[in-house]
Amino acid sequence: MEGTSDVSALKMLNHELVKLDLFDGTNFDRWKDKMKFLIIALKFFYVLYPNLMSFPTTSDEDTNEIKAKKKKWEEDELICKGHILNTLLDRLYDLYTSMKSLKEIWNALEAKYKIEKINTNKFIIQKYFDYKMLDNILVLDQVHELQILVNKLHDLSINIPESFQVGAIIAKLPSSWNNFRNEAWLNAPSLSIDV
């Protein structure tokens, strides 16, 4: 029975849907989600459960069933480790291949790239606040760029009310739009801030 699951796992590996792009250090969350999907589909994800202890050392006194479970665990961990390492670019592979355990590799990748994601998120927030519209670029193109930033903020669970977005667009208009900006502020009482 065990051989049947190995054969189906190998067939799945050869299927086009299973091929993952090499992880180059960008878009970690996307790579991680795809990797999790793959190893869940292959029924190996249990070896990465955060609260799951490693399989205890077996002894000669253990039953054949316990020894078989231990062997399966080790094989699944090795295959899962291979899948993760084989989807890393060579420079990343070289960094992580020397790590002994699968969990050590997974945790190291998460730790490194979660920090980078936090810095990227801070950059998006800063970019939104610092965004200035320029006279030499079409206003609609710049509004579109600002809306893309708002969508990225929304992806970070930072919801900006529509009235705030409108106010930000008006405030960020180039200086040549001063007359329009003043008119817009006067005609948009819901945007005025009482001090």
Burial class (CB in 10 A: 0-12, 13-18, 19+), 131: middle
- Secondary structure (3-state) at 119: helix
- In this prediction, what percent of the chain has a pLDDT beyond 70? 81
- What's the mean pLDDT when you consider all of the chain? 80
Q: What is the mean pLDDT of residues 98-110?
A: 90
Apex 123 CA angle, 105 and 153, nearest 5 = 95
Q: What is the mean pLDDT of residues 32-48?
A: 87
DSSP 86-106: HTB-HHHHHHHTT-SSHHHHH
* 8 Å CB contact between 163 and 190: yes
- Domain spans of the chain? 2-114, 131-191
Residue 4's pLDDT band, with cuts at 50, 70 and 90, is low
Q: What is the mean pLDDT of residues 44-53?
A: 76
Mind listing the pLDDT tens digit for each residue in 12-27?
544 444 567 888 888 8
Q: What is the mean pLDDT of residues 97-117?
A: 87
Q: Provide the b/e sequence for 30-40 (b: ≥16 CB within 10 Å).
A: ebbebbeebbe
DSSP classification of residue 2: H
Mind listing the pLDDT tens digit for each residue in 142-153?
889 988 888 888
The predicted pLDDT at position 52 comes to: 63
Tokens for 183?
A: 């008119």
The predicted pLDDT at position 108 comes to: 92
DSSP classification of residue 47: G
Q: Which residue has the higher pLDDT, 64 or 118?
A: 64
Q: What is the mean pLDDT of residues 85-104?
A: 92
CB atoms within 10 A of CB 20: 15
The model's pTM is 0.54
Task: State the residue for tokens 């792009």.
Answer: 21
Residue 45's pLDDT band, with cuts at 50, 70 and 90, is confident
DSSP 170-195: HHHS-GGGHHHHHHHHHT-GGG----
The predicted pLDDT at position 194 comes to: 40
